A and B are shown apart, each in its own frame.
Chain A
Amino acid sequence: MIELKNLSKSYNKGKVKAVNNLSLTVQPGEIFGFLGPNGAGKTTTIKMIVGLLKPDKGSIMLNGLCNQGHPLKCKSMIAYIPEDPEIYDRLTGLEYINFIGDVYGTPAKVRTTLTEKWSEIFGLTNAINQSIKSYSHGMRQKIILIGAIIARPEIFILDEPLTGLDPKSAHSLKEIMHEHCKQGKTLFFSTHIMEVAEKLCDRIGIINNGELMACGTMDELKYMSKNSESLENIFLEITEK
Chain B
Amino acid sequence: MKKVLTLLKVMLKVNFLFPALRGRTIYKKKERINIIILKVILFVIAFPLFYAYLFIIRKLFELLQPIGQANALLTLGILITQVLILIFGIFSIVSIFYLSKDMELLIPLPIKPHQVILSKYFTVLVNEYFVIAPFILPLFIYYGILANVEVGYWLRLPFVFLFIPIIPLAITSLLVVVMMRLINFSKHKDKLIIIGSLLMMLLIIIPQFLAKPSENSGLNNEQVVNFFTSNDGLVKMIGNKFPPAIWITRSFIYGFSNNAYIDQILFYTISVLLFVSLILLGEKLFYKGLIGINEISVTPHKRIKPLPFSDGAHQVSSIFLRELRMMNRTPMFLLNGVISSLFIPVFMFFIIIFKTGEFGFFISAMEKENLLMTSLYLAAFFILCGGLNGTSASSFSREGKYFWISKVIPVSYITQIKGKFLHALAVSSLGIIGGAIVTLILFKINLISLLLGLLIAIIGTIAFIAIGFSLDSRKPLLDWISYQKAMKQNMNVFFHILIEFAILFCLGYSTVIAVNKKIAPLYIIYLFILIFFILLAIIAILYLLKTVEKKYTKIEI
Chain B, interface size: which category? 35 or more
Tell me whether A129 is interfacial, beta carbon within 8 Å: yes
Tell me whether A231 is interfacial, beta carbon within 8 Å: no
**Complex interface bits, B297-308 against A, C-beta within 8 A gives 1, otherwise 0:** 010111110011
Quick one: which of B304, B402, B408 contacts A88, CB cutoff 8 A? B402
A68's nearest neighbour on chain B, judged by CB, is B553
Tell me whether A3 is interfacial, beta carbon within 8 Å: no
Tell me whether B223 is interfacial, beta carbon within 8 Å: no
Tally chain A residues at the interface, Cβ within 8 Å: 43
Tell me whether A41 is interfacial, beta carbon within 8 Å: no
Q: Please indicate the chain A residues that have their CB under 8 angstroms from the CB of B313 in the complex.
A: 98, 102
**Complex interface bits, A64-89 against B, C-beta within 8 A gives 1, otherwise 0:** 00000000110110101010001110
Q: Please indicate the chain B residues that have their CB under 8 angstroms from the CB of A72 in the complex.
A: 410, 412
Determine if A52 and B557 form an interchain contact, defined as CB atoms under 8 angstroms apart.
yes
Quick one: which of A88, A116, A131, A133 contacts B322, CB cutoff 8 A? A88
Determine if A126 and B325 form an interchain contact, defined as CB atoms under 8 angstroms apart.
no
For A95, A98, A106, the residue with the greatest tally of chain B CB atoms inside 10 Å of its CB is A98
Determine if A134 and B26 form an interchain contact, defined as CB atoms under 8 angstroms apart.
no
Q: Nearest-CB distance from B394 to chain A (Å)?
A: 16
CA distance A153 to B255 in the complex (A): 74
Q: Please indicate the chain B residues that have their CB under 8 angstroms from the CB of A164 in the complex.
A: none
**Complex interface bits, B308-346 against A, C-beta within 8 A gives 1, otherwise 0:** 111111110111011001100110000000000000000
Tell me whether B401 is interfacial, beta carbon within 8 Å: yes
Q: Please indicate the chain B residues that have their CB under 8 angstroms from the CB of A27 in the complex.
A: none
Quick one: which of B25, B404, B410 contacts A104, CB cutoff 8 A? B410
Q: Nearest-CB distance from B297 to chain A (Å)?
A: 9
CA distance A84 to B308 in the complex (A): 28
Q: Please indicate the chain A residues that have their CB under 8 angstroms from the CB of B401 in the complex.
A: 86
CA distance A31 to B326 in the complex (A): 36
Determine if B301 and A126 form an interchain contact, defined as CB atoms under 8 angstroms apart.
yes
Determine if B307 and A94 form an interchain contact, defined as CB atoms under 8 angstroms apart.
yes
For B25, B315, B408, the residue with the greatest tally of chain A CB atoms inside 10 Å of its CB is B408
Quick one: which of A78, A87, A94, A133 contacts B405, CB cutoff 8 A? A87
Tell me whether A50 is interfacial, beta carbon within 8 Å: yes
**Complex interface bits, A87-103 against B, C-beta within 8 A gives 1, otherwise 0:** 11011001100111111
CA distance A90 to B313 in the complex (A): 20
Determine if A90 and B309 form an interchain contact, defined as CB atoms under 8 angstroms apart.
no
CA distance A103 to B553 in the complex (A): 19
Q: Please indicate the chain A residues that have their CB under 8 angstroms from the CB of B295 in the complex.
A: 134
Determine if B318 and A103 form an interchain contact, defined as CB atoms under 8 angstroms apart.
yes
Tell me whether A230 is interfacial, beta carbon within 8 Å: no
Determine if A99 and B322 form an interchain contact, defined as CB atoms under 8 angstroms apart.
yes
Q: Given A82-B404, A101-B310, A103-B315, list of 19 further CB < 8 A pairs? A: A13-B25, A72-B412, A75-B409, A76-B410, A78-B408, A86-B404, A88-B402, A90-B329, A91-B322, A91-B325, A94-B309, A98-B309, A99-B322, A103-B409, A104-B409, A106-B312, A115-B307, A129-B304, A131-B298
